[in-house]
Amino acid sequence: MAIWLIPFLPLLSATLLMVSTGRMPRSLTAVLGAGSVGLAALLVALLAQGFLADGQVREVTLWTWMAVDNFTPRVAFYVDGLTIVMMSVITGVGFLIHLYSIEFMWDDESLCRYFAYMNLFVAAMLLLVMADNLLLLYLGWEGVGVCSYLLVGFWYRDADNGKAARKAFVVTRVGDTAMALGLFLLFTELGTLDIQPLMVAANANWQVGDTLPIVATALLLGGAVGKSAQLPLHTWLPDAMAGPTPVSALIHAATMVTAGVYLIARNYQLFLLAPPTMQAVAWIGVATLLLAAFTALAQHDIKRILAYSTISQIGYMFLALGVGAFASGIFHLMTHAFFKALLFLAAGAVIHCLHHEHNIFRMGGLRTRLPVVFWSFLIGSAALAALPFTSGFYSKDAILLSAWEQPDIGPWLWAGGLLGALLTSIYSFRLVFIVFFGEAQTEPDRQPGWRMAGPLLLLCLLSLIGGWFALPLSGVFPENGHAQVNHSVEIISIATPLLGLLLAYLLFLGRQLSIDKLLASPTGQALKSFCLSGWRIDNLYNALWVRPYTNLAHWWRNEPIDQLYNAVVAASQWSHRTLLGLQTGELRWYATSMVFGLVLLLAIMLRNAT
Amino acid sequence: MSMLVLIGLLLVGGVMAWLAERIAVNLSRWVSLATVTVSLLYLLGIISGLPEGSLQLTPDPGDGSSWLLYLHIDWIERFGIALEMAMDGLSLLLVVLTLLLGLVAIASSWSEIEFKQGLFQANLLWTLAGVCGVFLAMDLFLFFLFWEVMLIPMYLLIAIWGHEKREYAAMKFFIFTQVSGLLMLLAIVMLAWHGQKVNGHLSFSYFDLLGLPLQGRSGWIMMLGFFIAFTVKLPSFPFHTWLPDAHTQAPTAGSVLLAGILLKTGAYGLLRFCIPLFPDLSAQFAPVAMGLGAAGVIYGAVLAFAQTDFKRLVAYSSVSHMGFVLLGLYAWNNLALQGAIMQMVAHGVSTAALFMMAGALQQRLHTRDMRRMGGLWHQAPRMGACAMFFAVASLGLPGLGNFVAEFLVLAGLFAVQPWLTAIAALGLITAAVYSLWMIQQTFQGKPDEQRSMSDFGSREMFAMTAMMIALVALGVYPQPVLDLAQPVLDGLHGLVQDSMLVAQVRP
């Protein structure tokens, strides 16, 4: 089967849509936009079926991208179990989101532009996961970044959207630049960027704990934290919610933001050579998941809650990678794609039916008014909170267990993850209770149609049963069999989300507990606004980077270098004026100066002669 | 002979375009268009007529037949000056780029010039002739002659058809180029004189002057004479300050030619003359040159961000991008050199497109001030899409030519100067900042509903589409350009193989 068709179909569709510049009928635009991704999903399904049958890694080379000396990156694909999982998520969840988008975006005048960008995104994301070398991966990596920029700023008339889009691009570009330096280092030292030969060469040339692999993986990690919105480069993601909600579901929840996780998993042999980097990955994961979970508790914009929750959940994936549980990380990536896409699409349905309302405190009582959305949200939240037997339960549980088994730092990582799980459960159900229970604040003016409800129901199903999927990852990652299951640890892991659910119920629905008094106090106020602002990290970065840079630009605006040349000009003009003063036109003055000159010359000659 | 015919075609075409104005006002632009098209076809005809495999030959300085085209006619025998011209893959690439961008320049000024159209087209064609001569001359005296020939018509283009501060800008351009050209002339004469002492006969031929033992103070003076002349043209920090004024004030066609081609003569000069003639001194000087390159990358990007004038912003982005060329040239390994050559081509296309965009905006809105734009996407979505494309090209999006160039330069540089690479790589971030800010200020934001503005017409879309296709082609399959340049680089490596330049690269 022609594997290249899979990314090519959305790419072709994107090109057609762009060339049509909106002159295509809307229905055709929708069919092309969603259909191309649907077809790609079918091809992926066929590919996956073939792969599950024979387990053969598929490699396809299309052409040599460029060849200079031994730098010969190819446009080539490498499809193993990991790639299959990623491709299935991208095209499967991607297709559902595209289908949903048809209804969600139908009234928008720029439907064509929307689908063009979305399809381009899917193509770039597929290239990212299918690339057999790091340069082609980087192409996909930057490509999804640009599509994210275009889609966050999709509603370009509002300057705030443009600002959020630029922030998303520039902050991730900081990470991307580190990643590019990592590629230079790897190529200079090992002479190739093809991933599989690179892993072989790294293992052959480097020992565990050498400086070079540590530096190289740290640079790659820079790219990963940027793209996956982890500390310290996470600040772009909450603002990126300015884009249309299906965009948030596809790019900022299910696929692009997990690219960093994929990058580390794909190059895991390299990371295993650098234990300090691995530890850094784990700690970044824990720190991020806690920070984001705390922040999510205080938000009142439905999409920002979900955005912080995404950051937090990717923190779990990083934790998994950092403790070497690569398969668990990818497993959580997949289940998270299901339930977070579900939550975003459900949130989108709420927003769509509620006149673009984002504030959860102006919602309420939607349980009976939007039943499909309510059940979707409930199931999504249950999976997010990792309630028993949902998909999130299996994946998160595996991560916590692996963290526990880590020597030395294991219990600390585990405790951090567990606290995060408690917080996750609280903020998830806070959202559910406030939005769907209680008294109605705003009446919905429409009900979601089948194009919106269908994807919701399918994602509900996936969020419920996704935990039972067996991923074909055994050939990709080393087996790390759990030594023995520690039952008390297991029970605590199960009980924590339930405790969170109970707390959320008591706080936000039953109101047996109240934190109103605490919040009303000055300390509470300060704490709340601290959390609401995302721990003031944006202010910090503004003071550290943005303002100094704009000030520098302002200061240099008039070209300090040019002042130097202007000084030369001024000097020659001055001498021109001065010498001009000598030219008086008076004969006596000329004669006098000639005599004086002559005398001076004679004096010098005589002095030299003696 | 064919090289002389090519240059003659352009010169005569210029005269004809000038005269054509007397017959009909708009005839001259057709003559101009025809001249460049014919020249291009003529060149391609000659190249396709070459024996098979010529493009893979490594040009050998001592052997005219190893070059694609070679011409030697004695001229001023007393001083050893000859009409010596030669074409290899690099010259071919740059001459083709020159003619193609010449077409773009004509297209971009199709309806912009309102007086003295004939003279305008004549100056445009004479500039092209001068540039082609620069890329082909192998006699240093002849090279200097062409260097001046391309300068004067460009000066006139700015001084006569430029914008509000045209006289200042033209004068600044002229003085910078002229002073640095004088330094080069002195260096050329000194070099020929040195050559006479060593070889026993006076000659200005590049091939005779290669491999001279040049050391000490006089060597440094000569090398710096060439270096300054070429880096003023490139332009490199800190000699770049003529460029923002000249680009901003020039008519659109002038900016397209300046950014697209004239800057490349500086890079070409460094690659063809400055480094091979002075390999040891260049090796010693390389850290300074690379430092200037990295400084230019950052400085240009910061200043681009500070601008409110669309054209000035693009002009400063050129300073930043040309920093990569300087870095690539002085890193002097195959990867970085290929990157530098690629950057010349890709930057030529992407910047030409951005200047064309600037011209189109100015023609429609009568301003270049971005604070008075905003939301233009609403009125002109096709212009917006083109601007977006070339903005992301100039910030180095993979899949487009500029990325290949910058990646190769930085990857090559990393083997030589890892820390400097890290600094230069910051340019990738700053490029994103100014490119996206440019798009925000012009095409995004709240549209002014009262403003009426026409979108790109089919002539403009044709030129834009051609340049987009070129950048995508360069981005996904740059091999034809790399293959064309590789024999030339092999030849250059051969010239400097015994020098210190080789030693700086890790094996």
Question: What pLDDT digit, counting tens, does each position of A219-269 carry?
Answer: 999 999 999 999 889 999 999 999 899 999 999 988 999 999 999 999 999
Are β-strands A74-79 and A58-64 bridged in parallel, bridged antiparallel, or unpaired? antiparallel
Chain B contacts in chain A segment 12-41 (CB below 8 A): 18, 21-22
Select from A151, A162, A165 the least CA-distant residue to A117.
A151
Closest Cα to residue B496, out of B342, B337, B289?
A: B337
Say if the Cβ atoms of A157 and B375 lie within 8 Å. Answer: yes
| A117-130 pLDDT, tens digit each | 999 999 999 999 99
Q: Do A68 and B335 touch (CB under 8 A)?
A: yes
Helix-helix angle A259-266:A302-322, to 10 degrees: 10
The overall average pLDDT reported for chain A is 89
Kindly report whether the global pTM for this prediction surpasses the value 0.80.
yes
**Rounded to the nearest 5 degrees, what angle is found at the Cα of B354, between the Cα atoms of B351 and B358?**
135
Q: List, as one string, the DSSP characters of B177-206.
A: HHHHHHHHHHHHHHHHHHHHHHHSS---BH
**Tokens describing residue A380:** 């999504």
Contact A193, A182 (CB under 8 A): no
The model's pLDDT over B417-434, given as tens digits with 9 standing for 90+, comes to 899 999 999 999 999 999
Which residues in chain B have Cβ-Cβ distances shorter than 8 Å to A156? 375, 377, 443-445
Q: Whole-angstrom Cα distance, residue B314 to residue B438?
A: 9
A67: nearest CB among B306, B414, B479: B479
Position B79 confidence tier, pLDDT thresholds 50, 70, 90: confident
User: What would the mean pLDDT of A2-26 be, rounded to a whole number?
Assistant: 89
| Chain B nearest C-alpha distance from A211 (Å) | 15
> Using one digit for the tens of pLDDT, what is the confidence trace for A263-309?
999 999 999 999 999 999 999 999 999 999 999 988 888 999 999 99
Q: Which residue of A has its CA nearest to B296?
A: A561
Model confidence over A578-592: pLDDT tens digits?
888 888 888 888 899
Q: Does residue A440 lie within any of the structural domains? A: yes
CB-closest option in A188, A549, A561 to B414: A188
Residues of chain A positioned with their CB less than 8 A from the CB of B338 = 68
Confirm or reject contact between B302 and chain A (CB < 8 A). yes
Q: How many whole angstroms separate alpha carbon B345 and alpha carbon B294?
A: 20
Cβ–Cβ < 8 Å for A417, A404: no
Mean pLDDT of A391-420: 88
- Cβ of residue B306 closer than 8 Å to a chain A Cβ: yes
3-state secondary structure B330-378: HHCCHHHHHHHHHHHHHHHHHHHHHHHHHHHHHHHHCCCEHHHCCCHHH
CB contact under 8 A, B397 and A174: no
Looking at residues B207-224, what average pLDDT do you find?
Answer: 86
Q: Please report which residue ranges of B24-139 form alpha helices under DSSP H.
A: 27-48, 89-108, 117-136
User: Which site among B338, B407, B488 would you substitute to test the A interface, given the most A Cβ atoms closer than 10 Å to its Cβ?
Assistant: B407
Q: Which among B392, B418, B482 is the nearest to A66, CB-wise? A: B482
Closest residue to B429, CB basis, from A159, A174, A562: A174
pLDDT above 90 (res B74)? no
pLDDT at A483: 57
Are B375 and A556 inside 8 Å of each other by CB?
A: no
Instruction: Give long-range contacts, CB 8 A cutoff, 24+ apart: B491-497.
Output: B491/B58, B491/B59, B491/B60, B491/B61, B491/B88, B492/B271, B492/B275, B492/B276, B492/B337, B493/B334, B494/B58, B494/B60, B495/B61, B495/B210, B495/B211, B495/B276, B495/B279, B496/B275, B496/B276, B496/B279, B496/B332
Identify the H or E element spanning A251: none
Taking the C-alpha atoms of residue B160 and residue B172, their distance in angstroms, rounded to an integer, is: 14
How far B188 CA lies from chain A's nearest CA (Å)? 26
Please tell me the predicted confidence (pLDDT) of residue A317: 94
Mean pLDDT of the region B336-358 = 93
CA distance A168 to chain B (A): 11
pLDDT the model gives residue A481: 60
Give the mean pLDDT of A138-164: 92
Of B302, B477, B486, the CB nearest to A553: B302
Contacts of A177 in chain B (CB under 8 A): 425-426, 428-429
The tens digit of pLDDT for each residue in B40-50 reads 999 999 988 88
The strand pairing partners of B86, in sequence order, are B70
Q: CA A233 to CA A53: how far, in whole Å?
A: 41
Give the ranges where B366-477 is alpha helix by DSSP (H).
Answer: 376-379, 381-394, 401-416, 418-442, 458-476
> Is residue A322 over pLDDT 60?
yes
ipTM: 0.92
Looking at residue B475, its pLDDT comes to: 93
Decide if A407 is inside a domain: yes
A59 touches chain B (CB under 8 A): no
Q: pLDDT, tens digit, for every residue of B90-144?
A: 999 999 999 999 999 998 888 887 788 888 999 999 999 999 999 999 999 999 9
CA atoms of A428 and A385, how far apart (whole Å) = 7
Q: How many angstroms separate the CA atoms of A18 and B342, rounded?
A: 28
Contact A185 B240 (CB under 8 A): no
What is the C-alpha separation between B413 and B409, in angstroms, rounded?
6
Q: Evaluate if residue A513 carries a pLDDT over 90.
A: no
By residue range, what is the domain housing residue A431?
285-476+485-535
Residue of A nearest to B392 (CA): A146
Query: What are the beta bridge partners of residue B82?
Result: B74
Residue A207 domain-assigned (yes or no): no
H/E element, A599: helix A587-609
A209: pLDDT strictly greater than 80 = yes
Backbone angles phi, psi at A133, to 5 degrees: -135, 160
Interatomic CA distance for residues B71 and B85, integer angstroms: 5
CA distance B167 to B148: 19
CA distance A468 to B51: 67
For residue range B195-204, what is the model confidence (pLDDT) as tens digits? 888 888 888 8
Sequence-separated (6 or more) residues with CB below 8 Å from residue A592:
none
* pLDDT value for A1: 63
Q: Is residue A600 part of a domain?
A: no
Q: Which residues in chain A have their CB less than 8 angstroms from residue B375's CB?
A: 156-157
Provide the pLDDT for residue A338: 93
Q: Are B102 and B94 in contact (CB under 8 A)?
A: no
pLDDT of residue A168: 93
Overall domain count for chain A: 1
- Is the CB of B404 inside 8 Å of chain A's CB atoms? yes
In this structure, what DSSP letter does residue B16 have?
H
Q: What is the dihedral of CA B435, B438, B443, B445, to 10 degrees?
A: 110
Both structure tokens of A504: 């959320």
Alpha-carbon distance B279 to nearest alpha carbon in chain A (angstroms): 22
* Within-domain flag for A316: yes
Which residues 65-94 in chain A show a CB within 8 A of chain B?
65-69, 71, 75
Phi and psi for B449 in degrees, rounded to 5? -65, -25
In a domain, A98, yes or no: no
* Rounded CA separation B364/B380 (Å): 11
Give the pLDDT confidence score for residue A473 in this predicted structure.
Answer: 83
Q: Which one, of A105, A10, A113, lies nearest residue B382 by Cα?
A: A113
**Hey, of A17, A66, A157, A170, which one would you mutate to test binding to chain B, going by the most B CBs within 10 A of its CB?**
A66
- pLDDT tens digits along A524-578: 888 888 888 888 888 889 888 989 999 888 888 888 888 888 898 899 999 998 8
Kindly state the tokens that stand for B8. Answer: 């003659």
**Nearest residue, CB atoms, B398 vs list A143, A159, A564:** A143
A 447-506 near B (Cβ less than 8 A): none
> What's the Rg (C-alpha) of chain B?
22
Structure tokens at A123: 């193509």
| A559 touches B at CB < 8 Å | yes
- Give mean pLDDT, residues B261-285: 90
Q: B25, B117 in Cβ contact below 8 A?
A: yes
Number of H helices, E strands in chain A: 28, 2
- Of A22, A67, A223, A33, the closest CA to residue A142 belongs to A223
Smallest CA–CA distance, residue B194 to chain A, in Å, is: 33
User: Which of A139, A156, A547 is most worth mutating to test chain B (most B CB atoms within 10 A of its CB)?
Assistant: A156
Mean pLDDT of B34-60: 87
HSE (CB half, 13 Å, CA atoms) of B408?
35
B482 touches chain A (CB under 8 A): yes
Output the CA–CA distances (angstroms, integers) from residue A10 to A15, A39, A82, A89, A90, in the order listed.
Answer: 9, 9, 21, 15, 12
CA–CA distance, A303 with A458 (Å, rounded to integer): 21
A589 touching B (Cβ < 8 Å): no
Single out the residue of B491, B412, B331 nearest to residue A68, CA to CA. Answer: B412
Asked if residue B427 lies in contact with residue B416, where contact means CB atoms within 8 angstroms, the answer is no
In this complex, is the C-beta atom of B66 within 8 Å of any C-beta atom belonging to chain A? no
> Nearest-CA distance from A236 to chain B in Å?
15
The closest alpha carbon to B248, from B304, B183, B332, B329, belongs to: B304
Q: How far is CA B417 from CA A523, A564, B157, B332, in A?
A: 52, 30, 41, 11
Query: Which chain A residues are Cβ-neighbours of B415 within 8 angstroms?
Result: 188
- pLDDT-above-90 percentage for chain A: 55
Would you say residue B318 has pLDDT above 90? yes
**Most distant pair of Cα atoms in chain A: their distance:** 117
Q: Does B440 touch chain A (CB under 8 A)?
A: yes
How far apart are alpha carbons A130 and B134 in whole angstroms? Answer: 46
Measure the CA angle with vertex A371, ends A370 and A375; round to 5°: 120
Is residue B97 within 8 A of residue B261, CB to CB? The reply is yes
Tokens 């400063």 appear where? B316
Hey, are the CB atoms on A68 and B338 less than 8 Å from each other?
A: yes
Cβ neighbours for A4, distance < 8 A, ≥ 6 positions apart: A60, A62, A77
Q: What's the whole-number mean pLDDT along residues A326-332?
A: 91
Q: Dump pLDDT digits (tens) for A49-89.
A: 999 888 888 899 999 999 998 899 999 999 999 999 999 99
Indicate yes or no: CB of A159 within 8 angstroms of CB of B444. Answer: yes
B505 reaches A (C-beta below 8 A): no
Judge: A139–B399 Cβ closer than 8 Å, yes or no.
yes
Give the pLDDT confidence of A350-402 residue by residue, as tens digits. Answer: 888 888 888 888 887 888 888 888 999 999 999 999 888 889 888 888 898 88
A135, A156, A170 member nearest B432 (Cβ): A170
Q: Is residue A131 part of a domain?
A: no
Q: Is A202 a domain residue?
A: no
Residue B507: pLDDT band by 50, 70, 90 thresholds?
very low
Question: What is the C-alpha to C-alpha distance for residues A96 and B56, in angstroms, rounded to an integer?
Answer: 52
**Is A105's pLDDT higher than 60?**
yes
Alpha-carbon distance B239 to nearest alpha carbon in chain A (angstroms) = 9
Report CB contact under 8 Å: A170, B476: no
Across A325-344, average pLDDT: 92
- % of chain A exceeding 70 in pLDDT: 99
